Amino acid sequence: WSSLGFGRLLIIASLKVLGLGLGAVQILPSMAALSESDRSAMSPEFFFEHPLTAADMLQWFNPFLTDTRVFGQNTHELGLYCGAIPFLLAIVAIICLRSQSSHRRLLQVMLALGLLALWLSFGKAGGLYVVQTWLPMIGKFRWPSRILVLLHFVVAVFATAGYIRITSPISGTAPAAGVSLEPNGNLPSSRDQSQLLPRIIYFVPIASILTSLLAPVICGREHVASWTLLLLGPILFVLAAILVRDISRGRYSPAFMLFLAGDLAAYGFTYEAMSRKQSMPQIVAELRTPPGTPNDGRVIAEVQLQNGGEQFHGNKLLLKGWHQADGYEGLMSSRSLLGENLTLDGLRIAGVHWVINEGRHSSMAGLKPTPDSGWLEVPNPLPRVRLARSVRQVSNTAEALQFLSAAGPVVIEYDPEQRAGIEELMTSGGTPSESDVVKIVSDRPGLIAVDVECSSSQLLILSESYSPGWKVTVNGEWSSILRAERDYMACEIPAGQSRVQFRFEPDSVTAGFRISVTSLSFLCLGAAVFYLLKFRQISQRKPDVGRTTTDSLTH
C-alpha cells in the first residue's frame, strides 16, 4: 500500500468512527430499548414480514398499477416510485456513467449502495437479509421493505447527476459514438446536447404502455387498478420524456418544476391523505372505548390470538386519553405478566380495568361482561401506586411467576444491597394502616411524582415497567429501585411524609450524549486544523506569485 492510499484509508476510517460517535446519543439508547423490548425474543419470521416482491418491480414503469400502488399492504413502505422525471434523469446518469469523470467514483459507490438496498429489500427471498438479522441492533429492524429509503436516496443522487449531465457543457471527455465535433474541435455545448441524451429514455414510455397492457395478464385482473389509472402511468412518462428533452436543449420552463413536484404530490397524497374523508376529531369521536372514563383504570386493547400472534388496536385509544397497560405497539416492552403468562391476577396487579373482548381474552375465567360486548372488565384491579408490608423474596422469573398474587404478598427479586430493609419488612408483615395515604401528584413521560404519608416503614409499588434506566429519590435523597411483581418497580419508604420521584434517566442517554459531544468537538477541531493548514499553504504561495510577476516585468 502506498503511503497516500493508506493515509486516505485512515482519514475515511476516522470519519466513520466520528460519524458513529456523533450518532451515539441515538444509537446507545436504541440498543438499550431493543434489549428491553419483546423484539429480543421474536422469532426470525417476524423480521421477514412485508418484503418487496418481483411484481413490485413493475412500479418503475407505472406507479398506478394497483389500487394500493403496490403489491402488498403498506404503500408508504413498499413504494418504489420516485417520480417520472427523476427516474429518467437517473437512467441518463447510469447510461453515461463512464463519461462522468468528475462524479464517477461517487456514482459507482451510490450504484453499489442502491443495488445492495434493493437486494436487502427482498427479505428472506433475497437471502442477504437473513444475514442482517444475525447482526446486533440492526438485525432487530423489522420489515425489509423499509430499506428502500436508501434506494430512494440513491435515485435522487443519480437524478441530480443526470440533470447536471444534460444541462452542463462537456469538456475534456471523448465524444460519444455518433456525436460530431464542432468546427473548432470542441464538443457540442449544453444547448446542443440533445445528441448526448440517451435514446433509451424515449423507450421508457413504451415500456410503461406495455406494462399497463400486460399487467392484468401477469398479475391477475383482481390485483390491477382500473384502466383510467393504468393509462395514467404512460401519460406521466410521455410528458416527463418531453420535459427532459426540452431541458437538454436549453428550453427551461416552469412546467418542469411544476410537473416534478405535482407528480410526487399526486402519488403520495391520493393514496393516503385524500382517501381519508374524516377529520382527526371525527376519527377520535368514533373510537370504540371502554365503559367509564380513563381515570378509572388502564386498558389492554392488543388482541392476543389463539395462535400466539397479536392484532394491535390500542394506539388509537391514546388519542382519547386512555392509558395502555402494555405500552406502545411499535416497540412493546418485554413483560412476563401481560405476555404469554397472562392471568387474571396479572391483569389485577398491572392495574388493568378493561380488556378487549377478542382472542384469548374472551375465554379467560374471572373477567366480567360489560354493557359493551367489545370489552370485558377486570374485577378489583389494584391501584397504579400502592403501599405494602407483606413481602416475599424470589431469585428468578419462574419463582416470581409461581408466587404472584394480587392478594399478596408482594414478590420482590433478591437485591443484596437492600437485604436488611427487605428482611425487616418481611418480619414485620401485616398490611398498611388505613391512615396511610399514597397519591400520584405528577405523571409525565419520564417523571412520576408520588406523595406518601405512612405510619411505618413500607414498600411503595408502582406499576410502571421496570427498566435499569429508572432512578428514584425519596425526599431528595437517592434510593434503590427494586424489581417488584416481576415487571414493575418498588422502593422503601420511611415513616412519615415523603415525596418520591421516579425519573427515567438511562445511562445510555448520558453516555451517548457525552460521546456525541466529544465526537463533535473532535470534528470541529479537525475541520479548523484542516482549513488553517490550507490557508497557510495559500498564503505561502502568494509571495512567489507576486515575485514572479515582478521579475517578468523587469525583464
Give the confidence band of 510 by pLDDT, cuts at 50, 70, 90.
very high
Residue scoring higher pLDDT (111 or 38): 111
Strand 352-356 versus strand 298-300 pairing type: parallel
The pLDDT, as a whole number, for residue 243 is 94
Residue 212 has pLDDT above 60, yes or no: yes
Q: What is the mean pLDDT of the chain?
A: 81
Residue scoring higher pLDDT (217 or 304): 217
445 C-beta neighbours (distance < 10 Å), count: 6
The pLDDT, as a whole number, for residue 544 is 53
Each residue's pLDDT tens digit, 222-250: 778 888 888 899 999 999 999 999 988 88
The pLDDT, as a whole number, for residue 307 is 40
d(CA 65, CA 502): 53
Half-sphere exposure (CA, 13 Å, Cβ side) for 7? 3
465 C-beta neighbours (distance < 10 Å), count: 18
Quickly list DSSP for 30-54: HHHHHHTBGGGG--HHHHT-S---G
Give the confidence band of 269 by pLDDT, cuts at 50, 70, 90.
confident
Each residue's pLDDT tens digit, 293-326: 888 888 887 655 444 445 556 677 888 888 888 7
Domain positions in the chain: 1-30+512-546, 37-170+191-271, 285-377, 403-505
d(CA 249, CA 200): 17
- What amino acid is encoded at 432 in this protein? P
Percent of the chain, pLDDT > 90? 32
The pLDDT, as a whole number, for residue 519 is 95
Which helix (H) or strand (E) element contains residue 29?
helix 24-35
Residue 4 has pLDDT above 80, yes or no: no
Residue scoring higher pLDDT (238 or 185): 238
* Phi, psi at 78, each rounded to 5°: -100, -5
Give the confidence band of 338 by pLDDT, cuts at 50, 70, 90.
confident
Each residue's pLDDT tens digit, 445-491: 899 999 999 988 889 999 998 999 999 999 999 999 999 988 899 99
Quote the cell numbers at residue 298. Answer: 388502564
Mean pLDDT of 241-266: 90
Please list the alpha-helical segments (H only) found in 323-444.
344-349, 397-403, 419-428
Instruction: Indicate the burial class of 545 (C-beta count within 10 angstroms; 0-12, 13-18, 19 or more).
Output: exposed
Residue 172 has pLDDT above 70, yes or no: no
The pLDDT, as a whole number, for residue 429 is 53
Task: Check: CB of residue 34 under 8 Å from CB of residue 137.
Answer: yes
Which residues, 6+ apart, have CB-to-CB distance to 418 below 8 Å? 480, 482, 492
Residue 505 has pLDDT above 90, yes or no: yes
Each residue's pLDDT tens digit, 39-97: 777 777 888 888 998 888 888 999 888 877 888 767 778 888 999 999 999 999 998 88
Mean pLDDT of 394-420: 77
Quote the cell numbers at residue 436. Answer: 396511610
d(CA 482, CA 392): 12
Each residue's pLDDT tens digit, 345-384: 889 998 999 988 887 777 788 899 998 888 899 999 999 9
DSSP label at residue 289: P
Nearest-10 Cα torsion for 198, 53, 238, 151: -50
Which residues, 6+ apart, have CB-to-CB distance to 215 below 8 Å? 58, 62, 65, 224, 230
In angstroms, how far is the first alpha carbon of the chain from the final one?
47
SS3 sequence, 142-169? Answer: CCHHHHHHHHHHHHHHHHHHHHHHHHCC
Give the confidence band of 434 by pLDDT, cuts at 50, 70, 90.
confident
Q: Which of 277, 287, 257 is nearest to 86 (CA)?
A: 257
Omega within 30 of 0 (cis) for the link into 409: yes
At the topology level of CATH, where does 403-505 sit?
Answer: Immunoglobulin-like (2.60.40)
The pLDDT, as a whole number, for residue 421 is 54
Give the confidence band of 177 by pLDDT, cuts at 50, 70, 90.
very low
Q: Which of 209, 256, 221, 70 is nearest to 148 (CA)?
A: 70
Lowest mean pLDDT among 107-121, 127-141, 169-183, 314-328: 169-183
d(CA 189, CA 171): 9
